[in-house]
């Protein structure tokens, strides 16, 4: 599943050519995604309107139309949202196609149909966005992602720090891959109860989160112009993961063997030496 860096790189790629473009035709499959595609609203508020800019909130992309409407897209399990020449034949699972006035097409390809498309009308956009924003955790790059906030959210929690970081109501956009990497970088055992983290450890979580996510965004930059990829599936960035998917391999930092356990149903990797457990 794309995490914050993958969604951000998709946004940066689209930002290079989408603002100012007008949507001249919309085609959608009849298939239902996580929610039905709002064809009527797309026809009323996106068709014939220009895209002003694209923002991201958590793992949602917000396409702000010049008429004040907002088209929201969640990628679900795919990264296949990109611009392609409109002469390219449609592929299976192309569920939404927006033809633009420069003959390019914005295509959303979602084979597993976990994605979703929403349209907020100009009249409701502001209120909908505020309500949406309130339901999501803080952005890791915002000032609100600070020690006071994290300690307050985590102080009474017995929840493992890894699950805490992956809780989208606390912090936006961190999934399994980056949670593993962040905790290794912060030298914190993934099972440590969130309520037991010392102030210095929270600071390490904050600094590592920002550093790891920034690195991932930067390493994804090279795929920007080609994010539909020749294979159609570029997958995750070719970042050098320190622990993720490295069970039974040697830790680059200490040469001990990396462990794999299951936490909250997800594969969890850590170095028992570099990330000692703290239980009280």
- Of 114, 132, 141, 273, the residue at the interface with Zn ion (CB under 5 A) is 273
- Residues numbered 212-271 forming contacts with Zn ion, rule: CB under 5 A: 251, 253-254, 271
Residue 96's H or E segment, with its range, is strand 94-100
Nearest approach, Cβ of 51 to Zn ion (angstroms)? 47
Residue closer to Zn ion (CB basis): 7 or 243: 243
Distance CA 205, CA 185 (A): 8
What φ, ψ does residue 2 adopt, rounded to 5°?
Answer: -60, 140
Contact 97, 105 (CB under 8 A): yes
Supply the minimum distance, in Å, between the C-beta of residue 153 and Zn ion: 28
CB of 253 to Zn ion, least distance (A): 4
Closer by beta carbon to Zn ion, 9 or else 212: 212
Q: 7 in helix, strand or coil? A: helix
Neighbouring residues of 270: CB distance < 8 A, sequence distance ≥ 6: 180, 183, 184, 189, 190, 243, 258, 259, 261
Question: Closest separation between CB of residue 58 and Zn ion, Å?
Answer: 31
- Closest residue (Cβ) to Zn ion? 251
Any residues with CB less than 8 A from the CB of 31 and at least 6 apart, and which?
A: 95, 113
User: Does residue 144 carry a catalytic annotation?
Assistant: no
Nearest distance from residue 252's CB to Zn ion, in Å?
Answer: 8
Considering the complex, state which of residue 228 and residue 243 has its C-beta at the smaller distance from Zn ion. 243
Q: How far is the CB of 29 from Zn ion (least distance, A)?
A: 48
Is 266 in the active site?
yes
Give the nearer residue to Zn ion in terms of CB position, either 165 or 185: 185
Q: Which of 69, 185, 205, 274 binds Zn ion (CB under 5 A)?
A: 274
Beta partners for 258?
none
When asked if residue 141 is in the footprint of Zn ion (CB under 5 A), the reply is no
Catalytic-labelled residue, pool 39, 56, 157, 266: 266
If one asks whether residue 188 binds Zn ion (CB under 5 A), the answer comes out as no
What 3-state class would DSSP assign to 89?
coil
Assess whether 139 carries a catalytic annotation: no
Instruction: Please say whether the beta carbons of 18 and 230 come within 8 A.
Output: no
Give me the residue label for tokens 């009474």: 156
Residue count, binding to Zn ion (CB under 5 A): 6
Which CB sits closer to Zn ion, 113 or 211? Answer: 211
d(CA 170, CA 139): 9
Which helix (H) or strand (E) covers residue 5, if one does?
A: helix 4-15
Is the dihedral angle over the CA atoms 123, 22, 110, 6 positive or is it negative? negative
* Residue with smaller CB distance to Zn ion, 62 or 186: 186
Catalytic residue, candidates 5, 6, 8, 59: 59
| Alpha-carbon distances of 278 from 86, 101, 188, 189, rounded to whole Å | 56, 58, 9, 7
Known catalytic residues?
A: 2-3, 59, 266
Binding site for Zn ion (CB under 5 A): 251, 253-254, 271, 273-274
């Amino acid at each position: 599943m794309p995490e914050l860096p993958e969604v951000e790189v998709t946004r940066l790629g689209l930002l290079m050519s989408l603002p100012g473009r007008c949507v001249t035709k919309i085609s959608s499959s009849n298939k239902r995604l996580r929610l039905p595609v709002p064809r009527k609203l797309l026809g009323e508020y996106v068709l014939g309107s220009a895209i002003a800019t694209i923002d991201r909130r958590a793992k949602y992309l917000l396409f702000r139309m010049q008429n004040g409407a907002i088209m929201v897209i969640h990628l679900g399990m795919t990264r296949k949202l990109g611009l392609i020449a409109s002469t390219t034949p449609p592929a299976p699972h192309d569920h939404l196609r927006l033809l633009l006035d420069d003959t390019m097409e914005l295509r959303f390809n979602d084979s597993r149909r976990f994605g979703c498309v929403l349209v907020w009308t100009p009249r409701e956009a502001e209120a909908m966005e505020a309500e949406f924003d309130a339901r999501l955790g803080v952005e890791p790059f915002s000032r609100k992602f600070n020690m006071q906030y994290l300690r307050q959210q985590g102080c009474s929690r017995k929840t493992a720090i890894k699950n805490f970081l992956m809780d989208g109501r606390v912090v936006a956009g961190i999934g399994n891959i980056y949670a593993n990497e962040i905790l290794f970088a912060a030298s914190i055992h993934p099972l440590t109860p969130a309520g037991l983290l010392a102030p210095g450890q929270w600071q390490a979580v904050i600094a590592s989160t920002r550093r790891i996510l920034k690195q991932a965004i930067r390493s994804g930059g090279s795929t920007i112009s080609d994010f539909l990829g020749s294979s159609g599936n570029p997958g995750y960035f070719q970042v050098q993961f320190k622990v993720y998917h490295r069970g039974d391999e040697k830790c680059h930092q200490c040469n001990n063997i990396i462990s794999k356990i299951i936490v909250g149903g997800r594969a969890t990797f850590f170095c028992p030496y570099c990330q000692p457990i703290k239980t009280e």
